[in-house]
Amino acid sequence: MNLRVRPWLDRIDPYRPGKPATSGDGSLASNESPIGASRSVLAAISRAAHRVHRYPDPLADELRDELAVRHGVTPDQVLVGNGSDELIYLLALAYLARDGRAVCADPAYRIDEISAHVVDAHLTKVPLLDWRHDLFAMGEVGADIAYVVNPHNPTGTVRSRAEIEAFTAAGGAGLVVVDEAYIDFADDPVELTAVPLVAGGRVAVLRTFSKLYGLAGMRIGYLVADPTVVETLRKIRAPFSVSSLAQAAALAALRDSAFSEEARRYSIAGREALSRMFEEAGYAVVPSQANFVLVEATDEQELVARLEAAGVSVRPGSSLGVPGTVRVSVPSDAGRELVARSLGVDSDAVTAMVERA
């Protein structure tokens, strides 16, 4: 017998991860936390290491209960996954496999796009309007799943909860998947989140521990959705996909609110300083509510090369579906110096300007 790869898999343009720079401070390609994880998280991981010969709790019940309380939902509305990426794949398997229809923005979050192609779904990409999701045009598609990344990656722009509610009510999609990976960096996360819409049954919200909590390497995220959605995904998931170390880390991260508040403040201040620096150097920057900024650069390659020469790795827009731009993650203080040097701007002056504002 000849071994044959399923023909629709040819449509997949493989994911290309951001390149790390030679220094951690210069690695601004993957929106990782500039201040890492809290010490209490590292201690929790060490304690959990003593039990790694045991299988993890399949559903991460302790974490799930705590997340349910925090979001004002019931535990059967929460599913923890191996990063939100695993949950995106499960949603595609459950609701898009064999001829399902999905709609997302163009540019899209690459995993939404790839997972739809993996299960042989029809995917429609709808161009952004003023850098934001064109919800009206997305509704016209009539999809099983509509992906709304809010704030969006790679633009950092948002749609309000009222806009998402109206989109859902208009019935243009069976399930609206709102990916809130960056919501902690938004102006008002409580006002913005779509979690209150979950009760209507047509909205699923994705969250991750990879960004604010600095746990990208642990692989843990979760979904808040109708119990029927959670039940379906439970049925098809790999039972032990979330490691015991990841579960312990996430619980400790949630409980260290002083640290997460600090991470939020640091990232927002750093984002403003980063935006000002690029503006000082003559670039336009898309106003961001995330932990990165999208910089408009007619000569994308030139800017990428200039930053690279200073030891800074970023994400070229053409690899994210937005040629003519460069996406830069919020750096640490040391990383900001590297960026300032490569742009020829005075980092202290910019920081002082942001502090005065």
Ligand X SMILES: *Cc1c(COP(=O)(O)O)cnc(C)c1O
> Is residue 221 part of the contact set for ligand X (CB under 6 A)?
yes
194/174 Cα distance (integer angstroms): 16
Residue span binding ligand X (CB under 6 A) among the ranges 118-126, 140-148, 210-218, 233-241: 210-218
> Is residue 35 part of the contact set for ligand X (CB under 6 A)?
no
CB of 39 to ligand X, least distance (A): 22
> Residues near 7 by Cβ (< 8 Å), separated by ≥ 6?
none
> Is residue 208 part of the contact set for ligand X (CB under 6 A)?
yes
24/4 Cα distance (integer angstroms): 41
Is the alpha carbon torsion for 231, 233, 236, 238 positive or negative? Answer: negative
> Is residue 181 part of the contact set for ligand X (CB under 6 A)?
yes
Binding track, positions 153-172, relative to ligand X; x by CB under 6 A: x-------------------
Residue 242 · residue 54 · CB < 8 Å: no
> Residues near 39 by Cβ (< 8 Å), separated by ≥ 6?
none
Q: How far is CA 284 from the centre of its chain?
A: 23
> Is residue 216 part of the contact set for ligand X (CB under 6 A)?
yes
CB of 337 to ligand X, least distance (A): 25
In the bound state with ligand X, the residue whose beta carbon lies nearer, of 157 and 210, is: 210
Q: What count of residues does the chain have?
A: 357
CB of 253 to ligand X, least distance (A): 13
> Is residue 128 part of the contact set for ligand X (CB under 6 A)?
no
> Is residue 247 part of the contact set for ligand X (CB under 6 A)?
no
Cα–Cα nearest to 327, from 180, 181, 153, 105: 153
Span 54-113, contacts to ligand X by CB under 6 A: 83-85, 109
In the bound state with ligand X, the residue whose beta carbon lies nearer, of 217 and 323, is: 217
Binding track, positions 102-121, relative to ligand X; x by CB under 6 A: -------x------------
353/272 Cα distance (integer angstroms): 10
CB of 69 to ligand X, least distance (A): 21
CB of 155 to ligand X, least distance (A): 11
CB of 136 to ligand X, least distance (A): 22
CB of 257 to ligand X, least distance (A): 20
For the chain, strand residue ranges (E) read: 78-81, 101-106, 122-127, 143-149, 173-179, 203-208, 221-224, 284-286, 292-296, 315-316, 325-329
In degrees rounded to 5, what are phi and psi of residue 242?
A: -105, 115
281/276 Cα distance (integer angstroms): 9
Q: How many residues bind ligand X (CB under 6 A)?
A: 14
Positions in the binding site for ligand X (CB under 6 A): 31, 83-85, 109, 149, 153, 179, 181, 208, 210-211, 216, 221
